[in-house]
Amino acid sequence: MRQTRNGAHYRPDIYAHSAIVNPYPHYARMRELGSVVWLPRQRVYALPRYAECKAVLRDDTVFISGSGVALNRISNRLSRGTTLNSDGADHERRRKLVAHRLLPRALGAISDTVDRLAGQVVDDAVRRGEIDGVELAAALPLAVVPDLVGWPRDQREHLIAWAGATFDALGPLNRQAVRSVPGTTQMLRFARRVVRQRTVLDGSLAHELLASVDQGAVSADECPALLVDYIAPSLDTTISAISNALDLFARHPEQWQLLRAEPHRIPNAVNEIVRFESPLRAFARQTCVDTEIAGAALASGSRVLVIYASANRDEREWDRPETFDITRDAGRHIGFGQGAHACAGQGLARLETSAMLRELAERVARIERTGPPRWAINNIIRRHERLPLRLVAA
Ligand code: HEM
């Protein structure tokens, strides 16, 4: 077996500001270097290609999440007790508590409300004409998700900042990860108070979680982390998908005309958006035995970085990966993960993104950029900070 630390290395920092803004040239060079590439700064084996990313995500007995999916020890410690950071029976038990609330069948009950709210949000934006695409993208998730999860109505103004910080902190311990630690701890502290005071909304996912405490299925101590599990990834991720959709259709007007003419393509368009601009860049795993990936030896305890955003542009897997094309078969992307830890909220994310695209396609003839967009600097989430656009009414 080949020893990779002596094999392919990639020295540039893929978490430097410039790389966060434009990561794709880095990913392309790493894919050229090989299937397993040692990143000396992060001391991690990166997987830039599709096949190895998918295989590792599916092999959750060798590549475990329980010792953390972040690139630093502090966040891995703070994230203990979450569904994301657990393995085997423990993971299954945690996931079973509430994930069923986000399956398509359960979401049927709110789909009319989501459509109605999306209609209102889009009407208002079309009336204004000139908008910030990020504000438009945030409106529906903010109107739907905190109520569904059951987060109390006070302190909602902090949610986006806290959730963004929670993601940022999962990167390497660079300056912005350090800056994000207070936001992460404030969110966890507030979640502890919510559980202690039982201030969750009736009938919500969090309400069901507390009912599980009463039935003895889960301890009250576990609940704050489990609440953060669902509230933290519920906003930024979907805001990323919707704002990236707005930007991509502004840059590819022929794709927008096609979507308007053939709205049955919306579900696949959502896949293509998540493939082309994956909202989550990468998460880590740890090997729990000596193993190998594509002939490269990895000792037990090695950390491996699964780069979803690079896998989704791997030229070995995708024909013309740098082309945004809503007609391609994009369903096998791994932007929502894969295997045991595949995104528990993807049904909701798809519902919201599709509703927004449907309402926009009906009312908007053209989407135009009116200024340069600005990317948010976040170690994990790829989304715009500002996206100046004009919506031209149909
Ligand atoms: C476009 C939107 C979204 C994207 C791209 C996305 C992406 C992902 C990815 C890649 C993972 C896998 C993590 C891993 O491999 O360790 C994941 C897990 C997860 N996501 Fe999402 N997500 C989105 C929206 C949501 C929403 C709306 C929610 C909740 C309301 C949510 C809740 C979760 C949870 C709870 C997990 C952990 C599952 C587990 O460990 O078993 N996500 N997500």
d(Cα 200, Cα 298) in Å, to the nearest integer? 45
Phi, psi of 392 (to 5 degrees): -95, 115
Q: Which is the closest atom of ligand 1 to the Cα of 278?
A: 5
The protein residue whose alpha carbon is closest to atom 43 in ligand 1 is 343
d(Cα 122, Cα 356) in Å, to the nearest integer? 7
Identify the band that residue 261 occupies on the pLDDT scale cut at 50, 70 and 90.
very high
- 102: closest CA among 86, 87, 114, 90? 114
Q: Is 84 in the pocket of ligand 1 (CB under 6 A)?
A: yes
- Report the half-sphere exposure of 163 (CA within 13 A, side-chain side): 27
199 with 184: CB under 8 angstroms?
no
Distance 87 CA to ligand 1 centre (A): 16
d(Cα 153, Cα 320) in Å, to the nearest integer? 46
Q: What pLDDT does 7 receive? A: 80
Q: What pLDDT does 5 receive? A: 61
Lowest-pLDDT choice from 172-181, 337-346, 355-364: 172-181
pLDDT in tens, 376-390: 999 999 999 999 999
pLDDT higher than 60, residue 145: yes
The number of beta carbons lying within 10 Å of the beta carbon of residue 80 is: 12
Q: What pLDDT does 2 receive? A: 44
The protein residue whose alpha carbon is closest to atom 1 in ligand 1 is 238
pLDDT above 70 covers a percentage of the chain that reads 98
- Paired residues of 64 in beta bridges: 286
pLDDT in tens, 28-75: 999 999 999 999 999 999 999 999 999 999 999 999 999 999 999 999
204 with 144: CB under 8 angstroms?
no
Distance 128 CA to ligand 1 centre (A): 33
Ligand 1 probe mutation, 100, 239, 343, 356, most atoms within 8 A of CB? 343
**Hey, is 305 helix, strand or coil?**
strand
Q: Is 63 in the pocket of ligand 1 (CB under 6 A)?
A: no
d(Cα 380, Cα 166) in Å, to the nearest integer? 9
Contacts of 219 (CB under 8 A, 6+ apart): 213
Ligand 1 probe mutation, 60, 67, 237, 243, most atoms within 8 A of CB? 237
Q: Is 341 in the pocket of ligand 1 (CB under 6 A)?
A: yes
388 with 369: CB under 8 angstroms?
yes
The protein residue whose alpha carbon is closest to atom 34 in ligand 1 is 344
Phi, psi of 351 (to 5 degrees): -60, -45
- Paired residues of 130 in beta bridges: 390
Contacts of 67 (CB under 8 A, 6+ apart): 76, 85, 286
Instruction: Tell me the residue type at 173.
Output: L
What integer is the mean pLDDT of 153-181?
92
Q: Is 234 in the pocket of ligand 1 (CB under 6 A)?
A: yes
Distance 345 CA to ligand 1 centre (A): 6
DSSP H or E run through 388: strand 388-393
Distance 104 CA to ligand 1 centre (A): 15
What are the structure tokens assigned to 245, written together?
A: 């959709």
Q: Is 309 in the pocket of ligand 1 (CB under 6 A)?
A: no
Identify the band that residue 1 occupies on the pLDDT scale cut at 50, 70 and 90.
very low
- Report the half-sphere exposure of 376 (CA within 13 A, side-chain side): 26
Distance 88 CA to ligand 1 centre (A): 18
pLDDT above 90 covers a percentage of the chain that reads 88
Please list the alpha-helical segments (H only) found in 235-377: 236-251, 253-261, 266-276, 308-311, 346-363
d(Cα 142, Cα 235) in Å, to the nearest integer? 7
Distance 240 CA to ligand 1 centre (A): 13
Q: What pLDDT does 3 receive? A: 46
Identify the band that residue 4 occupies on the pLDDT scale cut at 50, 70 and 90.
low
Q: Which is the closest atom of ligand 1 to the Cα of 240?
A: 1
Distance 335 CA to ligand 1 centre (A): 9
The protein residue whose alpha carbon is closest to atom 28 in ligand 1 is 345
Identify the band that residue 79 occupies on the pLDDT scale cut at 50, 70 and 90.
confident
pLDDT higher than 90, residue 88: yes
pLDDT in tens, 205-236: 999 999 998 898 889 999 999 988 889 899 99
Contacts of 376 (CB under 8 A, 6+ apart): 164, 383, 384, 385
65 with 83: CB under 8 angstroms?
no
